[in-house]
Amino acid sequence: MSKPFYITTTLPYVNAELHMGHALEFIRADSVARYHELVGEEVFFNSGTDEHGSKIFKKAESEGKDVKTFVDENVEKFYESVKLFGVKNDIHFIRTSDERHIKAAQEFWSTVEKNGYIYLKNYQTKYCVGCESEKTDSELVDGKCPDHPNMELELIDEENYFFKYSAFTEKLKNFYEKNPNFVIPDFRFNEVRAFVERGLEDFSISRLKSKMPWGIEVPGNPEHVMYVWFDALVNYIANVGYPTDMKTFEKYWKNGTPTQYCGKDNTRFQASMWQAMLMAADLPNSHQIIVNGHITADGGVKMSKSLGNTVDPKDIAREYGVDALRFFLLKEVSSFEDSPFTLERFKDAYNAGLANGLGNLTSRILTMAQNNNISTVDSGGVSVFNYKNDFFDNFQIDKYMNSVWEKIQNLDKTIQEKEPFKLFKTDFKSAESIVFDLISDMYIIAKMLAPVMPETSKKLLELLNEGKKPEQPLFLRVE
């Protein structure tokens, strides 16, 4: 019997709208969750919202809003956006402002402190609010954070609690050695290992409440609130029961395969910091960390509102359909490398792969079946997920999508070469046999699309079972 499959996205901050990178992560994780359900596994799909920290507190202040009101409003927008991405209805959401998360974070802190990995000291540091992380001089470019050059660094000089990150250098190295597939892809794992090899430094995990009041109180010291990362990472175990429902926690985290998607700028937090925190709390480590590349503008330039080169995923989903967005992000975007998203590139891929590809093929086959009274009922009941798929198991969803479109192209080629639409006039039985085979292959394609383009999969299966050509094209050409 297979282990329960637990998959999670990272938790977006609620200080801004979800962008294309968020859409990519949600849609990929959703596709993986759907695939594991189709092969018969029990699945727990986790996500939620990261609601504490300086970034959110300052954003609420700038809008003249109470911070709780601000996050509540933005969480509603978050839910609406995720629905537009076609994510499964049974996804388990958690907010870091939820009482169950707060209880989990405080229990986790108390355990780590009891185990001797938290201490109090005075310190000075430079802090980037945009990254919500400390910065050493070696990480800065001309005294600025390279990821947020327009934001002034904060100089922090105060008493904080620290996590003994340095105690886990060797433990993490040993863990990585025993788990050679812990981070996918390999080149991201190499980056993590190199980071740990250089030696880990303890880091601050609290802020004075008098300076930054929006956070979870430190157990036993209400003058401090938790550093946002130390708080937020606990969501992964809080949403599966820790610490109140340990039966569920053991099912999905301890005895399951907890798998985490994240962006490349998040890798150290997920693959190193979080793993050290779990060790400090005597809890099992994650099973795997899957790292996405970034969505860029044309030429690899970073997407930025100030540069006017952003594309809103919600606009794409509303105008062209959710499965058109999913098609592009899953097929045309590399599973692990950075990839550009431009409207022109999207339209080209849409027309070639959907309008002229899948949509046109469906219409041609069903037109021949309808005009010649050929049954299109799935008499064989073909199943494509009665066995595991190597591409999905290795998170190479772009290769999976290419394998589907290779089948589509092969069917187009069969029609062009054998011309069954002409053959019906001279050799009906041979033409009928060709169309039967085409229909069988279309059922396979429709079912292969179930985890990646669920709406299209459902529509195709309905059309095939009815045996009628679509009244409207599945995908209209766009200019």
pLDDT tens by residue, 58-78 = 999 999 999 999 999 999 999
CATH class name, domain 5-292: alpha beta
pLDDT above 70 coverage of the chain, percent: 98
> What's the average model confidence in pLDDT over 326-331?
99
Tell me the domain boundaries of the chain: 5-292, 343-466
Distance, in Å, from the CA atom of 410 to the CA atom of 399, rounded to the nearest integer, reads: 16
Give the per-residue pLDDT at 379: 59
Task: For residue 433, give every residue at least 6 positions away whose Cβ sits within 8 Å of its Cβ, in sequence order, or none.
Answer: none
Cα 65 to chain center, whole Å?
30
Whether the predicted pLDDT of 295 surpasses 70:
yes
Active-site residues, by number, are: 19, 22, 128, 131, 145, 148, 302, 305
**pLDDT: which is higher, 322 or 148:** 322
The predicted structure's pLDDT at residue 134: 74
pLDDT band per the 50, 70, 90 thresholds, residue 144: confident
Q: What is the pLDDT of residue 123?
A: 82
The whole-number average pLDDT for the span 261-273 is 96
Percentage, residues of the chain above pLDDT 90: 82
Q: Tokens representing 108?
A: 């986790």
pLDDT score of 434 more than 70: yes
Q: Is residue 158 pLDDT above 90, yes or no?
A: no
Taking only the tens place, the pLDDT of each residue in 360-408 is: 999 999 999 999 999 887 755 667 787 789 999 999 999 999 999 999 9
What's the mean pLDDT in 215-233?
96
Residues 6-20 have a mean pLDDT of: 93
CATH classification (class only), 343-466:
mainly alpha
Q: How far is CA 417 from the centre of its chain?
A: 41
**DSSP label at residue 358:** I
> Any idea which residue has 């996500």 for tokens?
47
d(CA 6, CA 324): 27
Element (DSSP H or E) covering residue 195: helix 186-197
